[in-house]
Structure 1
Amino acid sequence: MTTAWLVLAVGDERQHGGNDGYDDDPSQHYSWDSTVPNHADLKVGDVIALWDKKQLLGLGVISEIETGSEVKTLYFCPVCKKADFKRRKRLKPTCLCNKCGAKFEEPGSKTKKVTTYRSRHGEKWMDGRGLLTGPQVRDLADSPRSQLSMRPARWEKLRDALLAIEGTDFEDLDKSERQPGKDTVRKPIPGGHRMANVKTRQGQPAFRKQLLKDHGQVCAFTGPAPAAALQAAHLYSFADASEHHDWGGLLLRNDIHSLFDRGQIAVNPDSGVIEVDDELLGYPAYAGLHGNAPLVSLRPEHEVWLAAHWRSHRGKQ
Structure 2
Amino acid sequence: MTAWLMYLGDDPKRVGGGYDDSSSTHYSWDSRVPNSAHVQVGDVIALWNGDTLLGTSVIEHIKTGTGTKDLSSCPECGKADIAERKTMTPKYRCWTSACKAEFDKPAVETVPVTTYQARYESGWIDLHGHVSGTELRALCEEKKSQNALRRLRWDDFRARVETGKNATPLDVVDTTREVIAGGHTKRTVRARKGQPAFRAALLESFGQMCAFTGPMPAYVLDAAHLYSYAANGKHHTSGGLLLRKDVHRLFDLGQIAIEPTTLTLDVAPKTLAWDEYAKLQGKPLTVPITATHKKWIAAHWEQHREPITAVIPPQAGAGQKLAAAP
TM range (shorter): 0.5 to 0.7
**Cα deviation, residue 255, structure 1:** 5.3
Aligned residue number for residue 102 of structure 1: 101
8 Å contact 2:9–2:49 — kept in the other structure? yes
1:90 aligns with 2:87: yes
**Cα deviation, residue 143, structure 1:** 0.5
Separation in 1 of the partners of 2:140 and 2:115?
A: 24
Aligned residue number for residue 258 of structure 1: 271
Separation in 1 of the partners of 2:155 and 2:104?
A: 45
**Cα deviation, residue 284, structure 1:** 4.0
Separation in 2 of the partners of 1:11 and 1:179?
A: 29
Q: CA RMSD in A?
A: 3.6
Separation in 2 of the partners of 1:277 and 1:291?
A: 22
SS at match of 1:81: coil
SS at match of 1:27: coil
2:19 to 6, 9, 22: 22
**Cα deviation, residue 116, structure 1:** 0.7
8 Å contact 2:54–2:128 — kept in the other structure? yes
8 Å contact 2:7–2:47 — kept in the other structure? yes
Separation in 2 of the partners of 1:133 and 1:147?
A: 16
**Cα deviation, residue 291, structure 1:** 11
The 1:141/1:126 distance shift into structure 2, 3 A limit, reads same
SS at match of 1:41: coil
Aligned residue number for residue 70 of structure 2: 73
Structure with the higher helix share, 1 or 2: 2
1:137-148 map, 5 Å: 137-148=136-147
1:181 to 192, 195, 202: 192
Separation in 2 of the partners of 1:122 and 1:4?
A: 16
**Cα deviation, residue 92, structure 1:** 2.3
1:52 aligns with 2:44: no
Separation in 1 of the partners of 2:21 and 2:88?
A: 27
1:235-274 map, 5 Å: 256-259=269-272, 261=274, 262=278
The 1:14/1:7 distance shift into structure 2, 3 A limit, reads farther
Separation in 2 of the partners of 1:98 and 1:29?
A: 33
Letter in 2 for 1:101: K
**Cα deviation, residue 23, structure 1:** 2.8
SS at match of 2:152: strand
Separation in 1 of the partners of 2:301 and 2:273?
A: 12
8 Å contact 2:43–2:58 — kept in the other structure? yes
SS at match of 2:100: coil
Work out the percentage of aligned pairs sharing the same amino acid.
35
Separation in 1 of the partners of 2:167 and 2:299?
A: 31
The 1:135/1:9 distance shift into structure 2, 3 A limit, reads same
Letter in 2 for 1:156: D
User: How many residue pairs are counted as aligned between the two chains?
Assistant: 211
Separation in 1 of the partners of 2:89 and 2:138?
A: 34
Separation in 2 of the partners of 1:179 and 1:35?
A: 27
**Cα deviation, residue 87, structure 1:** 2.0
8 Å contact 2:171–2:270 — kept in the other structure? no
Letter in 1 for 2:167: G
8 Å contact 1:77–1:84 — kept in the other structure? yes
Letter in 2 for 1:75: S
Aligned residue number for residue 167 of structure 1: 167
Separation in 1 of the partners of 2:298 and 2:92?
A: 59
The 1:179/1:40 distance shift into structure 2, 3 A limit, reads closer
Letter in 1 for 2:148: S
Separation in 2 of the partners of 1:277 and 1:289?
A: 17
Moved more, 254-263 or 54-63: 254-263
Question: Is there any run of 5+ residues in structure 2 with no aligned partner, and where?
Answer: 177-188, 197-218, 220-252, 256-266, 286-293, 309-326
Letter in 2 for 1:67: T
SS at match of 2:157: helix
**Cα deviation, residue 21, structure 1:** 5.0
**Cα deviation, residue 8, structure 1:** 1.0
1:120 aligns with 2:119: yes
Letter in 1 for 2:271: S
The 1:167/1:130 distance shift into structure 2, 3 A limit, reads closer
Letter in 2 for 1:258: T
**Cα deviation, residue 285, structure 1:** 4.5
**Cα deviation, residue 38, structure 1:** 0.5
Aligned residue number for residue 111 of structure 1: 110
1:32 aligns with 2:29: yes
